[in-house]
Every structure is written in C-alpha cells, then in structure tokens.
A and B are shown apart, each in its own frame.
Chain A
C-alpha cells in the first residue's frame, strides 16, 4: 500500500472527495442545489486520463454515490461510468487544449452527466425529469464544476500520474 500506485492514489482521492461530498458539499447549496464533487472527479478523470480511466473512476464514484442516494442502486453507477468514458473520449478529441477548453468541457460534460442521471432515474420511476428544479440543478452543477475544474485537474493528474500536464496552458 504505497502512494506510488495509481490505484491507491485514486482510492485516496475518491475517499476524500466522498467525505467532502457527504459532510460538506451536501450542506452548501446555491438556490437549493449543492455541488456534485463525485461527478466533477469523474469528468476531470476522464478528460485528463482518457476513456478507460474515466470509466473506472466513474464506476467507483457512482457506487459511492449510490450508497447515499435513494434511487435504485446502480443508476448513478451506470450514469457515472458512461459520463466518465464520454469525458475521456472528449478529452482525446481536443487538439489544442487550454484552460478555457477544459473548463468548457467540464461544464458541458457535467450538465450531460446530470441530465443522464435524471433520465436513467426517471426511466426507473424516480420522476426526476419532472422535477421543476431540473434546469437549475443542471445549470448550477455545471457552473460549480467548471469553477472547480482547474484544482480538480491537478488532483486527478497527480492520482493518475499523468505526465502530459503541459497540456493545460
């Protein structure tokens, strides 16, 4: 068990983020919407580490989220896995990366991830697409994630030992 291993580093990152999400972020709300740090880590892990990393980190983050949500177990896991993979694909298609690009990508993918979770949960009877706060939830989660994108990118690069850190300018 050493921090030399990316698996250990990712486990550490996910543990810290989970505690922050449950104990802190869930109590901080903007217009009744709180930040989604697990989604942020999923998206940024995909953008920085590629589709494989995104999918695995998304899967793990989704399982953690499912432990604290009241929808069907697995809904957040599936949504998060798909978003993590999509983030990796999106990150790979960026030809000229810059901070602006990563921030915009994080905002867009966070919005897509929230909408995907709402759609999957709705399909399984949670009624999430009928939630009158849906636009506010999507908007606020994506803006907050965009703001937190740069520090999250640094953490994910450390966890994934990404040596292409020069990509952000």
Chain B
C-alpha cells in the first residue's frame, strides 16, 4: 500500500489532468483552431515514418492480414466468381447498357469532373480509430493547392469533402458520416431535397424535401443540387435510390440511396478544385 501522501498526490494529479482534458474538449467544441493545426502537423510528421515502416513491414503485414482475413478473402473470391458469372451472362446486354448510360449522361450532362480542375490523390491511411469515424486521409494538402471544403470524388461519384487540410496530407469527411449534409436533386423529376450520411449502414439518406406526391422510383439517380449556397458543385452523382419509405406524418418520402462510389475500398480519389461559396 502506498503512503497516504502519495495517494493524495495521485488524486490531486487525477483531478488536475481531468480538468485539463475537459478544458481541451471545451476548447475544441468552441472551434479553437489550434487543434486542427496540431492534428495536421502530427499527420504530416507521421507520414514519413508511416511510409518507411510500411516499406519495411509490408511482407509481414501482408502475411498477417492474409491469415487473419482468410475468411474475408474466401468470401471476396466467391463474390468475384459470382460477379464474373453475372458479367458473362449479361454480356449480351452490355451494349444496350452502354447506350443507355451514354444517353443518360447526355441527358443529365453528367461529366461532373469536366470544367473543374482536379487533383488525383491516394488514400494514404484509413481510420486511426477502431470505431467508425467516417474519415480517410489522402496524401495531398495545401502544398498541392487543396483547401478545406473541396469535394472529393471517384469516377463513380461523390466520396466526401475535405474537412482538414495540412501541408502534405488532408482528411476527407466521407459521405456516409451522419454529420455530412448536402442538398440533392433527383435526376428525373429534378425535385430538390436534403440528404445526409446514414452512418454504420454505409448508405446515404434523403429525408427532407421530397414530398409524398413527388414521383420517385428505385434505381433513380441522385445528384448534388448545386444551389447557390450549396457546399457541392452541381451534378456530382451521389448514388441511386435503393429504398423508398413514405412518411404520412411528415408528408415526405425518406429515400435510402446506395452511394455510387465504393467507400470501403478507396484507393485513388480526385479532389475537385472547387470551393464552396462563403
């Protein structure tokens, strides 16, 4: 048993350190900018270590992940085999699908990357937390001309937006984050709504602005609205409607949207050099 004085000193330390921690939380909640800068510096500092240790340990890590992720690999192989089968059986329809896609693109004037300069970036790191935090880190930052708020996309569609930009790395807030809220537009009816990330479900929800009377069908494309105050440029594909839930109480429809971009297997992304209006 430690002496009484030592125990008293430990309790005093606990109180002081806890109060400091609570103060840090309060300051961060109040938007104190030092924390974002500190995180950017930490990320930039860790980046070379990450690369060096990655290079040295990659055989070991690959072996480890091969062993621990064996079931996933088997499942993934089965999925790929199924997919090849589907593709082979659908080969006859491919031509037709391409034509439909071409027409759809023409109709919607998709080409969302055209006209906006882009920066290609690699996803350098996934989440540091074990908990889903809906963020990934990319290997470009302000030294490449990136700025906070810029949209991040893949060829398939919307990924998210830059939440924090360091000099050589940036953090992307993914579209699945419940705090990610944007204006959207339905492709066929041009109805406007507001959507947000659906969190752990890995989808996107449009739960405001689509009235019960508005015609919506599953498979319909959902794009960014691009209104003057929007944080996204217009016509960036978000996904397709996969489920429709009418809500008689709010007189609105709740749409579940399957994102066009596969966010769980991000490798290379494009950052649109477009800044939202201030």
Q: Give residues 116-169 of A contacting B (CB, 8 Å).
A: 118, 121, 124-128, 130-134, 137, 141
B54/A27 in contact, CB under 8 A: yes
B199 interface contact, C-beta 8 A: yes
Q: Give residues 36-52 of B contacting A (CB, 8 Å).
A: 38-39, 42-43, 46, 49-50, 52
B46/A19 in contact, CB under 8 A: yes
- Binary contact readout B45-69 vs A (1 if CB under 8 angstroms, 0 otherwise): 0100110111001000100110011
A33–B200 alpha-carbon span in the complex (Å): 15
A87–B41 alpha-carbon span in the complex (Å): 31
B68/A31 in contact, CB under 8 A: yes
A133/B24 in contact, CB under 8 A: no
A126/B131 in contact, CB under 8 A: yes
A131/B28 in contact, CB under 8 A: no
B130/A33 in contact, CB under 8 A: yes
A5–B6 alpha-carbon span in the complex (Å): 20
B7 interface contact, C-beta 8 A: yes
Q: Using A70-B171, A72-B25, A127-B199 as known contacts, say yes or no to A22 and B46 having CB atoms under 8 A apart.
A: yes
Contact of A30 among B50, B68, B126, B132 (CB under 8 A): B68
A interface, how many residues as a size bin? 35 or more
Q: Using A59-B21, A81-B21, A127-B178 as known contacts, say yes or no to A69 and B49 having CB atoms under 8 A apart.
A: no
Q: Using A92-B2, A127-B199 as known contacts, say yes or no to A73 and B50 having CB atoms under 8 A apart.
A: no
B129 interface contact, C-beta 8 A: yes
B interface, how many residues as a size bin? 35 or more
B29 interface contact, C-beta 8 A: yes
A23/B49 in contact, CB under 8 A: yes
B7/A51 in contact, CB under 8 A: yes
B196 interface contact, C-beta 8 A: no
CB distance from B236 to the nearest CB of A (A): 23
Q: Using Cβ atoms and an 8 Å threshold, which residues of chain A touch B29? A: 72, 124
B42/A68 in contact, CB under 8 A: yes
Q: Give residues 43-68 of A contacting B (CB, 8 Å).
A: 50-52, 55-56, 58-59, 62, 65-68
A74–B22 alpha-carbon span in the complex (Å): 7
A27/B46 in contact, CB under 8 A: no
Contact of B6 among A31, A52, A62, A131 (CB under 8 A): A52
B87 interface contact, C-beta 8 A: no
Contact of A67 among B23, B38, B65, B127 (CB under 8 A): B38
Q: Using A68-B128, A126-B133, A132-B200 as known contacts, say yes or no to A19 and B10 having CB atoms under 8 A apart.
A: no
B25/A131 in contact, CB under 8 A: no
A12 interface contact, C-beta 8 A: no
Contact of A81 among B14, B43, B68, B135 (CB under 8 A): B14
7 shortest A-B CB distances, which residue pairs?
A: A74-B24, A74-B25, A23-B53, A78-B21, A67-B42, A51-B10, A52-B10
On A, residues with C-beta under 8 Å from B are 19-20, 22-24, 26-31, 33-34, 36, 50-52, 55-56, 58-59, 62, 65-75, 77-78, 81-82, 85, 88, 92, 114, 118, 121, 124-128, 130-134, 137, 141
On B, residues with C-beta under 8 Å from A are 1-2, 6-7, 9-11, 13-14, 17-18, 20-29, 35, 38-39, 42-43, 46, 49-50, 52-54, 57, 61, 64-65, 68-69, 125-133, 135, 171, 178-179, 199-200
